[in-house]
Amino acid sequence: MKFETIPLEDKQHALAQLREVKGLFASRGWFAGTSGNLSIRVGDYSPDRFDFAITASGKDKSLSTPEDFLFVDQEGKPSEATRLKPSAETLIHCEIYRLTGCGAIFHTHTVYNNIVSELFWERKSIPVDGVELIKAFNIWEEEAHIDIPIVSNFAHIPSIVPEVTERLNPAIPGIMLRKHGIYAWGANAFEAKRHLEAFEFLFEYVYKWELLKRRS
Ligand SMILES: [Zn+2]
């Protein structure tokens, strides 16, 4: 499907949703120093052909301007004429869409997600045991155990992509970049938001639980 054939209202709907989520997450302090990025897919999907709206690079995400978002294709290249640059981490979004076919991806840097990624870096995953909020990921077993994958963080973003390809676990809708931030995704914006909020809750839980254990 060519970008030009995607109905305008579908594109506007994606932008309106991004604006709403951006405002909400900004109010929680989840975009420190212009960090973080958000995207929502539009139009038809096949793993080698799709488009999505994504936050533009280097903008203050607590503000709302006409330059906050642009549309890019499966290679992270702008889908239409624009002076805006996509977020530097767009290639990670491209790879997650390609691997999962999801509808939205939200990425935040927080102190809790950074600390727990370092705490468990040696085992390359963050373990979570039996916490109720694991159900937010549609995992319903009692006392479920999950491992949230952690991958290396490189300044050169294309070098991160192969590890995402290798480590992404379809049962866990998120992947953590070491001392950087979480990428969470879902079938749509509502689900991606639920997943991201659940991850952040679990990271805070794990951090505090580790602190208590280490004290005693
Ligand atoms: Zn980031």
Q: How far is the CA of 164 from the centre of ligand 1 (A)?
A: 14
Q: How far is the CA of 87 from the centre of ligand 1 (A)?
A: 9
Do residues 31 and 62 lie in contact, with contact meaning Cβ atoms separated by under 8 Å? yes
Domain range holding 203?
3-215
Q: What is the mean pLDDT of residues 58-62?
A: 87
The DSSP letter of residue 87 is: -
- What CATH number is attached to the domain comprising 200? 3.40.225.10
**CB atoms inside a 10 Å sphere around CB 161:** 17
Q: How far is the CA of 135 from the centre of ligand 1 (A)?
A: 26
Q: Would you list which residues are annotated within the binding site for Zn(2+)?
A: 107, 109
Q: How far is the CA of 177 from the centre of ligand 1 (A)?
A: 8
**Total structural domains within the chain:** 1
Q: Which of 55-69, 71-85, 167-181 has the lowest mean pLDDT?
A: 55-69
Q: How far apart are CA 19 and CA 38, in angstroms?
A: 10
Q: How far is the CA of 158 from the centre of ligand 1 (A)?
A: 13
Give the confidence band of 76 by pLDDT, cuts at 50, 70, 90: very high
